[in-house]
Structure 1
Amino acid sequence: MTRELAMLIMVLIATLLITAGVFAWRRRTKRDSGLTAPVGEIPAGATVLAEFSGLYVATTRRGEPLERLAIRGLGFRSRADLIVTTHGIALDLTGKPRLFIPTGHLDDVAQATVAIDRVVERDGLVRVSWRVDEDSPVDSYFRAQGASARAVVDALRTIPHNLLPVHPQTTPGSNA
């Protein structure tokens, strides 16, 4: 086999893989087109309880930490600031409008170890379980910098009037 033929084969394989990836992402985007990110500002009168900088990892189907959702604004990993308020959680992703998840949509917070394309030390991720709408429960993962995942979870549990249950460490996405 000549060098040129080997190069041509490699280019064809690369083109096929890229085409398959684009096709798969478009299919996923179409599948998740009914889900929308909760774009909005922090409500007037809300008090900021804590702020954390870090990395937004992914949003997945509830209990399926390896099944990324292609929700516009939440489809890709990004640097992020997580703001805990008395009315819910604000998430500022780099280059995106602010997202705000009101307290009434929050179901649970816990620590996790695994999310799509990210495995960290035991309980190094923050998992926020919430509802996009009544029929769409999801989990969003955040990796804090400058604070432990435990500190972020503890801050999230201080949101007044929330019904976030305290679970043992055996939560979805907590086993590598």
Structure 2
Amino acid sequence: MTREGALAIMIAVAVGLLAALVWAWWRRTRRDAAFQAPVGEIPGEAHAVAEFAALYVATTRHGDPLERLAIAGLGFRSRSDVTVTDAGVALDLTGQPRVFLAADRIADVGQSTVAIDRVVEPDGLVRLAWRLDDGTVVDSYLRPQDASARALADAVAGILPPTQTGTDA
């Protein structure tokens, strides 16, 4: 086989792999098209409890940290500002509209070690379980940058009834 033939085969394989990735993501976005992130502003009467710089890691099916959901605005990793208010939690992902999770949408908050593309030290991620409009519970994972995961989890837990908090190590 000539060098040109080998190069042509390698290019064909690379193009085939890229096509497979695009096809898989397209199927995932179609599968998850019914899921909508609650886009909106923080209510005017809400008071900020804490603010955190974080890395938004992923949103997954509840209890399944390896099954990424392709929810519009929450499909990709991003830097994020997290604002915890007495009315809920606001996620400001770079280049996306603000996602506001009202306190009554939040099902649970805890800490975790593993999410779809991130493995960190024990309890280094914050797992925020929340309800979509149809009642489906999903988990969003955040990695605080300038504070501990415990501080962010505690701030969110402070706005929830005591029975709604937990740890998932």
TM-score past 0.5 threshold: yes
Contact 1:107 1:164 in 2 (8 A): no
1:98-141 deviations in whole A, cap 9, x for unaligned?
A: 11000110010000000011111111000000001243110000
Partners of 1:47 and 1:150 in 2: CA distance: 21
TM-score (norm 1): 0.92
The equivalent of 2:113 in structure 1 is 113
Partners of 1:163 and 1:31 in 2: CA distance: 35
Equivalent runs, 1:13-28 vs 2, <5 Å: 13-28=13-28
Equivalent runs, 1:94-133 vs 2, <5 Å: 94-133=94-133
The equivalent of 1:55 in structure 2 is 55
Contact 1:106 1:164 in 2 (8 A): no
Partners of 1:158 and 1:72 in 2: CA distance: 28
1:23-69 deviations in whole A, cap 9, x for unaligned?
A: 11111000000001110000010000000001000000000100000
The equivalent of 1:137 in structure 2 is 137
User: Residue 108 of structure 2: SS of its match in structure 1?
Assistant: strand
The equivalent of 1:45 in structure 2 is 45
Contact 1:103 1:162 in 2 (8 A): no
Partners of 1:157 and 1:12 in 2: CA distance: 51
Unaligned runs of 5+ in 1: none
Partners of 2:135 and 2:44 in 1: CA distance: 28
TM-score (norm 2): 0.96
User: Residue 65 of structure 1: SS of its match in structure 2?
Assistant: strand
User: Residue 5 of structure 2: SS of its match in structure 1?
Assistant: helix
User: Residue 46 of structure 1: SS of its match in structure 2?
Assistant: coil
The sequence identity of aligned pairs, in percent, is 58
Q: Which runs of 4+ in 1 moved over 6 A?
A: none
The equivalent of 2:147 in structure 1 is 147
Residue 5 of structure 1 and its aligned partner are, at CA, apart by 1.1
- 2:161 is aligned with 1:162: yes
Residue 163 of structure 1 and its aligned partner are, at CA, apart by 5.1
Partners of 1:133 and 1:98 in 2: CA distance: 16
Partners of 2:58 and 2:94 in 1: CA distance: 14
The equivalent of 2:80 in structure 1 is 80
Contact 2:36 2:133 in 1 (8 A): no
